[in-house]
Amino acid sequence: MIDKSLQQLLRQTSNIVALTGAGVSAESGIPTFRDAQQGMWANFDPMELATLEGFLRQPHKVWDWYQQRREMAAKAQPNAAHLALAEWQEQLEQCLIVTQNVDGLHQRAGSLHVIELHGNLHRDRPISQQLPAEKAADLPRCPETGNVLRPDVVWFGEMLPEGAMEQALSAIEVSDLVLSIGTSAVVQPAASIPLHALENGVPVVEINPETTELSSAADWSLRGSAADVVPQLVA
């Protein structure tokens, strides 16, 4: 699966950026979003659960869903892919993980350099809008301002955390190799990260059991699961 030219490149590489998506946590038991049967968007409506408008309409429903996901993520364990990436951070001069995942599993695997493009499921932040009293009843509130809290994740139509994309793109420009692991590469602006690498002459390796929007452009497409393939790259 790992051909001679990729093996040679890996030996010479000291600066890597790894973009990760839901597929990296699939083998930790956390469902992806777009799997046709098991994916979260096959069973839940993203416009209801992953937009600010949906939250303002049905805050209890959204909170219930995030509470269940928090519990699932807290019980999940980092898998061989998370662990291998953490090991790479120790071995290489530079190895930045840019994740779309909100589950915190990269950090629990020991990775120190992680940019969370879509926030973190385990944190809250206050909303600036006022909710009518009947809608706001029993919702968690900010102890300082009294405002209703929401999960600190990035919903559709929202901006990413300040500086996150800029940091990721700058790191790409000085990297030797970019990995795109376990992402369908359809959600912007994250999906533009490997394309930025290609535009800057940085080779891109995709790791995914399925073909994605990125596959035809990537220099290598390794068809397999993250927990199987990523440790082979690090070895």
Annotated ligand binding at 66? The verdict is yes
Binds ligand BJW by CB under 6 A, chosen from 158, 166, 173, 199: 158
3-state secondary structure the chain: CCCHHHHHHHHHCCEEEEEECCHHHHCCCCCCCCCCCCCHHHHCCHHHHCCHHHHHHCHHHHHHHHHHHHHHHHHCCCCHHHHHHHHHHHHCCEEEEEECCCCCHHHHCCCCCEEECCEEEEEEEECCCCCCHHHHCCCCECCCCCCEEEEEECCCCCCCCCCHHHHHHHHHHCCCEEEEECCCCCCCCCCHHHHHHHHCCCCEEEECCCCCCCCCCCCEEECCCHHHHHHHHHC
Please give the residues from 184 up to 213 whose contact with ligand BJW meets the rule CB under 6 A.
184, 186-189, 208-210, 212
Near ligand BJW in 58-97, by CB under 6 A: none
> Number of residues in contact with ligand BJW, rule: CB under 6 A?
33
Q: Does 101 show up as a binding residue in the annotation?
A: yes
**54 contributes a contact to ligand BJW by CB under 6 A:** no
45 binds ligand BJW (CB under 6 A): no
The binding site for substrate consists of 66, 69
Chain residues binding ligand BJW by CB under 6 A are 21-23, 26-27, 32-34, 39, 50, 100, 102, 118, 153-159, 182-184, 186-189, 208-210, 212, 225-226
The binding site for NAD(+) consists of 100-103, 182-184, 208-210, 226
User: Which residues are catalytically annotated?
Assistant: 118
